Structure 1
């Protein structure tokens, strides 16, 4: 196929419209057709249009992995209500020995975030790009250790840069108490750099999000209010890099359980009593920033333990007491066992988004520079520091 012949038959707009409807696999091949198509397909505007094309519908990534002698990771992908065959993919964490050492921190715009103790990795499942990133290590006494990490993966709408916010809770063995302030660092993909700043959020505990709870430049976690008795919502602004408590959530007691999820195109809180055999799940939706409405109640449901998130038409994913993944349909009130055990779920869309940033092709140099700089953070962070990988 020659680009000149194609351009004489079709207008540029038509060519672009057709290309944006194709799969990532096809587009990676079509980059080799000619220089013109190559420049079209790697263009940031084309990548954005392809990502949001209606034909590129959301999929469910069922995350469960096992290790093998060949150091492979096994994912299963849930496509259009049909379980696809397992994907067997090589990964680049060379010292993972047992399950639960490798976790997923989220999926956003086709990028999967993985973590393993002292590093994270950004992985585009469709293009097979994989990038390891060492996490900065603050200077803390040896009797301090990390007892929990929380992540947020999202986009800075001002710069279109992808960011990872990392919140680490440290425990002081000598005092047998948590250490405050928490250590907060932010990673920028474009510059391949970390920044450290003192945690100014007033809450004392943060709960993991059940799915990637990013929306309009903000990432959301469930947390507690100043009294440590009721739930609150903590947001992180990817543009300004500041934490805020989201107002307006009713006084929902921490004596019961809460999970922050995405509900259609809104941030939502699922509130329930885990101790009851028959469970009712109250769904609170944030229709506008700080404006919460109780949308619906699902239940009573038997033999379920924990909500994981919503699917396209409002179906609710749940875990049973035996760690089975099930799907509850609100319309038919039926529960379908999806034949997966001990797994997590994430919404996933194919994309051409590169995880290389601006330093593509310099992995050896990046690792060398990061090794020299990873221990350079101060004991008491003040203001903002930038650690550049070259």
Structure 2
């Protein structure tokens, strides 16, 4: 006969199994049933189980530009068919962003937002929103930089980390410095670590149009901008930041891509992959290169011919390709098997459409014991305020650096 403790354990496992199969909206309501259920739903065990459950399929989240309101907005498609009018979680269906924000990272339902002088984390499913204090190194006014970001989960500590790369250029001397300032943010402690790294071996770093974090590493595509006119091929490489040991590494890219082809790094079938095409041809053929194992690339397929294509954005679940049109920056889905073209009726401007395969998540910024981490709120108005008012949490210089 099972003991009372055994029975309690079986009851808890059964409760977790049943609740983890429910939509997130229903789970949030059950938090009010009792203190026991509240604690259970807040546990890491349940959060991870609900995130990974088979029924919690990824849906398409699009950052686009609303020409009727002259503002940016987020749209979430209701199911995998991409049919019907897209919605945004719960009451956040009027989040309009008047500036040009960028989603510089996505992981486990958390979006990282950046708007030049402020950063924030946002979980649309739970409506949690938190500002991130921004470290600003003291550099001369004549220095300019274009940042690169990465966001993901450290598998060794289960801590969410953000890496910020800043390489500086002195435009008065026309000189780029070899050292880069690296800032690493830790969600668990709401703190940064700043250090310098010699990245002289890295040439031009491309921003990805979607999250490229895989197996605890964030990846960027680089290209050699110092090539001569006599070169037939452009050397593309992948650099990565390992969230566990916090070091950079390099992986050779595909070697047989002509200079005039444009490339974009994506995740395809759980592998680092790259789309590339000739941007000025009247008919576009998009090649997909997949890294089967580290440094070994295979051209898996070629899709086309396509017309009126500005860039390839990524793939949907059955091999369909998302593209942005050249004529009016519309989001279009192309099925290479049926040749069907579906206009998703969302537009961008200045090549700023962003797509994410979004899964609902209970991941909280407050931690399992609900100790506050940063400035946490759960108001739609604060999401809007993030892009409309002056930043309130900016820490300068070495005040925030931790050795």
TM-score range, shorter chain: 0.7 to 0.9
Aligned to 2:329: 323
Partner of 1:353: 363
Report the alpha carbon displacement of residue 300 of structure 1 after superposing the two structures with TM.
1.5
1:374 aligns with 2:368: no
Tell me the residue number matched to 2:346: 340
What is the CA distance between 1:230 and its match in structure 2? 1.4
1:1-390 paired onto structure 2 within 5 Å = 11-64=11-64, 74-80=73-79, 81-87=82-88, 89=92, 98-100=98-100, 102-146=101-145, 148-201=146-199, 202-224=201-223, 228=227, 229-247=234-252, 249-321=254-326, 322-342=328-348, 343-357=353-367, 359-360=371-372, 363=375, 371=394, 373-376=395-398, 385-386=401-402
CA RMSD, Structure 1 to Structure 2 (Å): 3.0
Decide whether aligned partners of structure 1 residues 183 and 254 sit closer, same or farther in structure 2, where only a CA change above 3 A counts: farther
- Larger RCO: 1 or 2 (CA < 8 Å, sep 6+): 2
Alignment check: 8 A CA contact 1:110 1:124 kept: yes
Report the alpha carbon displacement of residue 83 of structure 1 after superposing the two structures with TM: 4.2
Q: Partners of 1:249 and 1:352 in 2: how far apart?
A: 38
Give the corresponding residue for 1:4.
none
1:99 is displaced (CA, Å) by: 2.9
> C-alpha displacement at 1:336, in angstroms?
1.1
Q: Do the aligned partners of residues 362 and 62 (structure 1) sit closer, same or farther apart at CA in structure 2, a change above 3 Å counting?
A: closer
How far the C-alpha of 1:89 sits from its partner, in A, is 3.1
Post-superposition offset of 1:225: 5.1
TM-score by length of 2: 0.82
Superposed displacement of residue 92, structure 1: 11
Asked if structure 2 preserves the Cα contact closer than 8 Å seen for 1:73 and 1:89, the reply is no
Shift of 1:44: 0.6
- Shift in Å, 1:55: 0.5
Return closer, same or farther for 1:203/1:362 CA change in 2, 3 Å cut-off: closer
TM-score, structure 1 normalization: 0.85
Question: SS at the partner of 1:36?
Answer: helix
Q: Residues 68 and 136 from structure 1, CA distance in 2 versus in 1: closer, same or farther, beyond 3 angstroms? A: farther
Give distance in 2, aligned partners of 1:76 and 1:92.
10
1:3 corresponds to: none
Q: Which runs of 5+ in 2 are unaligned?
A: 1-6, 228-233, 377-390
Aligned length: 364
Shift of 1:362: 5.8
Q: Is the 8 A contact 2:65 2:347 kept in 1?
A: no
Q: CA deviation at 1:119?
A: 1.9
